[in-house]
Chain A
Amino acid sequence: MQKKIIEVENLTYTYKDAKQPALENISFSVKENEWVSIIGHNGSGKSTLSRLLNGLLRADEEKNSKITIDGLILNSTNLWKIRDMIGIVFQNPENQFVGTNVQDDVAFGLENRNISRTEMIKRVNSALQAVGMQNYKNAEPQMLSGGQKQRVAIAGIIAIRPKIIILDESTSMLDPEGRTSILSLIRDLQQKNDMTVLSITHNIQETLHSDQILVLDSGKKVAQGTPQEIFSNISMIEKAGLGLPFVYELKKELAVYGIKIPDSVSNEEKMVEYLCQLNSNM
């Protein structure tokens, strides 16, 4: 039985001057070392959720809404302890680059935690090694591509060794190649360091690899489950204004022609294998 690392109860948040709450009565939990994708159409409250989790925003009625991170309840006294546990990689790689060059930027989070210089040098080097950017130590941000900047941002997060990484649409500004390489990088790191990953994304294809998917629609939680459970429920996905991943789209189309694909076929490799078998059986 895995420990629950994130527990959210009755979370409601309303932006100033907004008529409707951006998030309404959200409750969910995430187990340690899980990869959870949060999906929803534009304006469904995904990013608001990530900012609430590390205390950048505060819930409406703190008495009723409760966020617990690794046993600690999010409140003013625990705020900084909780921020130490959560690292967020944001959408725009340009605007989260604080340092004047790569190693400065990676060290920024460490400087804030008042970590000694010898330890910082060690951690910065190993973090840059982990993201494959050790040759760019002295490069300035304008010399790097978007994907490289995003790698540096990830290095800055893993240098502080958080338990939870939140990807707030981190790959949305990258090309397909940059996107796959960043995602496989984070998957590697997650397995090596036992981290929990919360990935907020528009890219349905990305969610296929996650353990759990959380679907938001207009600030409300619509569903939570494994990718298989979520994408089998086609009407719910369509109601939430989302698309289906390619495999499930294909399943749907094939169903029209009377070919029933079993539920266990949940990714492209399995689909290819199944179709080949089907072909040889005919």
Chain B
Amino acid sequence: MSKIIIGRYIPGNSIVYKMDPRGKIIGAFFFIFLIFLANNWFTYLMITLFTFAAVFATRLKIKTFWEGVRPLIWLILFTSVLQLFFTTGGKIYWHWGIFTISHYGIENSIYIFIRFVMIILMSTVLTLTTTPLEISEGMEWILTPLKYLKVPIGQIALVMSIALRFVPTLMDETVKIMNAQRARGADFNDGGLIKRAKAIIPILIPLFINSLTIAIDLAVAMESRGYREGEKRSRYRVLTWSKYDWINLAFFTLLTALLLVLRKH
């Protein structure tokens, strides 16, 4: 499980780490739209250079990013190959039954490949350099306008931060329960699909009960510390927009401008 790099945070202190999560989240989403602006070699080169600049700015090992892309590599290759064989148009180089390799096909499959890899790299840059808590705070800020639609943003934010705080606790709890069941002879790694699914029950039920106990204890502790639902609360954590965020914003603006100018009309 620890192999999966998507959604994981790796501590560091390069310039990307100092950026405001709001800027990074908006940037990462905006990037997905940007990538569809690209439609010729030049624009794709720009996108690639920009992404690599972001990747290098994190100062993390390139290997980590490769681990981010690896689980999806089959999907990427599959899509690219489909594009390669089934796109017609331009000069046809090879033809066999329903398969064709054409000029357009080659071009499109490379474009698709770049698109995929760049989107994954960009979102990996976001998750690797931003703690889950920062992401939830950034999201809260971004969702604030929904307050006018009567969405309880404050409560949702509290729920998110408590959920994030209890992920490691519940992980520990799961390991403890599994070990306790193993000590009584449970076997989690053997047998067919059904047998394995059944073996999960002695983990799930205690875990479920424990989470409810924790929830009750926590609710009591929160209330006795003065938490009142719907009451105005002040905030200890604040997000600060720094000069690095202006740099981030400037780069995105520059990229957008370049893409708009250089794209094929």
Contacts and interface: CB of A to CB of B under 8 A. Distances in A.
Interface range on chain A (Cβ under 8 Å from partner):
35 or more
Interface string A78-109: 00100110111010101111111001100111
Given A107-B236, A110-B236, A114-B233, A99 B165 contact: yes
A235 interface: no
B225 A98 contact: yes
A171 B14 CA distance: 42
B224 A83 contact: yes
B180 interface: no
B217 A80 contact: no
A100 B226 CA distance: 18
B221 A115 contact: no
Interface range on chain B (Cβ under 8 Å from partner):
20 to 34
A135 B133 CA distance: 21
A147 interface: no
A114 B232 contact: yes
A44 interface: no
5 tightest A-B contacts by CB? A96-B221, A107-B236, A95-B217, A112-B226, A142-B168
A116 interface: yes
A112 B233 contact: yes
Nearest to B237: A104
Contacts of B218: 95-96, 98
A84 B162 contact: no
B220 interface: yes
Given A92-B217, A117-B235, A142-B169, 11 more contacts: A80-B228, A90-B217, A90-B220, A98-B225, A100-B165, A108-B222, A108-B227, A109-B225, A114-B232, A124-B236, A142-B172
Contacts, number: 92
Interface of A: 51, 54, 56, 80, 83-84, 86-88, 90, 92, 94-100, 103-104, 107-117, 120-121, 124, 140-142, 156-157, 160
Given A100-B133, A104-B236, A120-B234, A56 B169 contact: no
Interface string B209-232: 000011001101111111110011
B194 interface: no
Contacts of A104: 236-237
6 contacts: A95-B214, A96-B221, A98-B162, A100-B133, A112-B225, A160-B226
